Structure 1
């Protein structure tokens, strides 16, 4: 039985390393539109270059998919995940976690991919000066 497009996306990101770059054309269309809180990219080559650059400083990264809402007849899915990662320049390389979700639109391949996550939790909170300031602000407003 052939994998659905959402299953292909989950399989692609379960282990996030440079090995996935060569299989991206199997999952994404050449005219992919990619959005996340930090970037807006168009085209498979731009997405591949962006992900490759992101991987350069990662010591380890994998996505754990919890559940999804899929509407195959509309070519749409929402995937809920936790990213487990270690980065050379964040938190001394310690294991970090980030929760988020991905909205995809697809036909035979994904042509729209949008990630939703808290960029502060992913990046800024783990930088020495900025992280301290963000944690203090969150504490004052009662955010976790």
Structure 2
């Protein structure tokens, strides 16, 4: 994905090429007191954000992001993406979580707010070997 805004292109390139070695470089992209929030985390500061991404690499096999769109307005942008991975502890095919990120940049072009939006029930819980069956059953019951 090619973005017009250099701040956005820089962060998209980071997300799409992120490796475990890049985790310690997140301070080049995030402001020192940046906040990161997703369905499982709500942390502040670069060390805590590094911890979230380090945990991702420890818990999942071959995680990677594919960014599809970027909507930019002023110091904010919204990215739509697919997150692809395989579960580390279970034999699994490549899983896909579809979501979006709201990013806000500070005056230096660093991310000061990163909020991810995705449906944990549909995109993750339903894909787990044991919990998935229960989640699909509950979904069917709720829709009946």
**TM-score of the two chains, using structure 2 as the length reference:** 0.86
Contact 1:5–1:27 under 8 Å retained in 2: no
SS for the counterpart of 1:14 is helix
SS for the counterpart of 2:133 is helix
Structure 1 position 85, deviation (Å): 1.0
Contact 1:78–1:101 under 8 Å retained in 2: yes
Aligned twin of 1:46: 48
Aligned twin of 1:76: 76
Separation of aligned partners in 2, 1:36 and 1:134:
20
Give ranges in structure 2 of 5+ residues lacking alignment.
none
**TM-score of the two chains, using structure 1 as the length reference:** 0.86
Aligned twin of 1:24: 26
Corresponding position: 1:106 with 2:95: no
Give ranges in structure 1 of 5+ residues lacking alignment.
none
Per-residue CA distance 1:36-91 (angstroms, 9 max, x = gap)? 011100000011012102211221111111111101xx30000001111112135x
Structure 1 position 125, deviation (Å): 1.7
SS for the counterpart of 1:65 is strand
SS for the counterpart of 2:17 is coil
Separation of aligned partners in 2, 1:5 and 1:79:
13
Counterpart selection for 1:15 from 1, 14, 17: 17
Aligned twin of 2:92: 93
